[in-house]
Chain A
Amino acid sequence: MLLTIVTEHWWDIRDLSNLSAKIAELIDAAGGPHWLIFVVTGLLGAGGIIAFIGACAVINIWVERRVVGRMQSRLGPNRLGPFGLLQPVADAIKLMQKEVLQPKTASGLIFTAAPIAFTIPGIWLMAVLPWGRNMVLADLDVGVLFLLAASSLGALAVFMAGYSSNNKYSLFGSMRAIAALVSYEIPIVVALLGVVLFTGTMRLSGIVLFQEHYWVPLLLLQPLPFLIYFISISAELNRTPADVSEAESEIVGGFHTEYSGMKFGLFYAAELINAVVVSAIIATVFLGGWWMYKVDEVVPGWMIFIGKIYAVYFLFVWTRGTLPRFRIDQLLAFAWKWMTPMAIVNVMLVAAEVLLWEETGWSAGLLLPAYVVINNALAVGLIVAFVRVFAPKFQRFPTGLRMYSNIDVPALPAVHPADAAPVGTPAS
């Protein structure tokens, strides 16, 4: 029966919500109980999302390695299958075959639960994102808040992994991760507050509909929150410009030092999943989700959405492939001294703009282009101001450390005679 729906209404694949509507009609016609509709559509949606996420986790290993390889003038995996496409499959088989080691002194229950707890929130996040006009699994009224709540659970999972391993590098890694997660939570919340204030809704489908209604992606109206969100979330995602919690050159492997086999595989997959989910959030909130001017009348919304997800994901891979790692104190200072003040300035600006819009009642066609110009100019101006005015001067030899007070910094061995003296003092 399901088969006839799929075969006879195959064109409805343009909008999968039609398919669930058809199933709902069928259940009604057969006189089935009403709750069955919710069960069937819920299972369909959840199954679809989990299938998409699982496929992404496999494909993105290949995408990431190939793209980073290209950026670093390497080949990347290219042996197994066409263009090396089967490499992730081989990797997965290898991971599954590996023995899962567990330290004798690890606390077993937490050690096993940590990778699971690390993976679940990312999949939760996907449930509230709209894939098409009526295609959303859980159209929560507090969608944006749900995103923040679910992503804040990741910190606990990282701590569980680091603490239960009973290894100092794991604990260092998880402490660093939590410090970064707690710090960057604030700019993320305040940046999204600007978006919520401007659109007047926390419902994610409402945010997409706002962009459709006013014919403008929020990226143009809210450039500063986009930048803040992008930078802060890559710190939360623990990706290379900010991967202090698993910095291989400093603390072995960070919080998953002791993990092996499929338990490590789950951490690895969860990081890729989280990157995709965050790309999807950015695509929904800042790039208009399934909407794209007139294109979404021809192309199915979920295809546009996946296209946007991968466009943002490319940005993440790009930053990973090109930027060096922050030091942990630089990373935290960046959150508190730069990101947070800029986000707060942005919220004040947005509040003033919304008030002006509501009080004067001027038309959106007049105000929104003005806001686009003002916000972009202010974003550029603020970034330049923060870089030029508020940034501490670069010191080759720091005169005072910001974190510890009484530590002697030994003089670096002189490579060139001019380097022996601190920069700024005249060489004798």
Chain B
Amino acid sequence: MSENSHAGSAGDARIGAGLTELTAAVRIVPAPLAEIITGGRRLRRRRNLLTGAAALTVTAVAAAVLVALPGLRPGGDGSVAPAAAPVLGGALPGSAPASPSASPGAARDPFQPVRTLVAEGTTDGKQWQAWAALWPLSTREQSFQQAQLIWQEQHAAGSDLSEPTPDYVARYWQPTTDIVDLYLVVDGARLPDDRLSDTPVPGTAEPLTTGPDGSLAGWLLGGGSDKSGKPEVLPVMMGAVRPDAAKVVVNWSNGTTSEPRLAPVGDSPLRWIAVAQPAGLHATSFKVFAADGRLLGTNKSWLNG
């Protein structure tokens, strides 16, 4: 035992041996290198947007936006109201999901996200809503302000992410991508966890999603549990599909299927879906179909890890 090792008793050594025995049962699956690098790149971009120091001017803008977005202000009871669509006329909570939240040709304001209620439902008596907030492309000079606003929303929801820094944001600013913030609102309160996703600015590039087969990229949101292990909120899967997708079919482990609606979000070329994972089930595949019924892609492989 090295000098760095713990100088324990025989009993302590037995505990160490017991732990070693436990780890012997761990299945050493291959490292998911592609997923790790993809996730790392996404995280790096997110950090670039969301790490750093505040600026007074930005604080003023953020405050103004929070005033304009009552849904983002913490309520007196500590809750956060559902995010209502601001200036661009997004879907209001409770309205029909998946309606476009911006009229074609509307001005793109990097400080005014376009919100869309992608899907909603009730699970175990809890009302959940899956939202997508599209933050239009900013200039490099505007990117820090935009990052601050995004962070303000996350912070208001209880996220512990650090504040952005100007240098970090500017260094990793991308000239051809909007940002879509995916989040859940449960019983009127936005959950702290969210997902930021890059999405191509309309007309700037071939709109590709980030899934390995190019057909669907998705994330699980929610799914937390209480101290007893009982789920507080069933996980909701949110994902993006390519523009020519007309239908998505989710196959569940018990043989049933779901067909989530495809929601346009602002003027993004992608379409977004959200579907709650039923208790005790898991998805075995997502299949994406074109309008003519042609199968555009299936994601069974990456669903199964």
Q: Do A and B come from one complex?
A: no
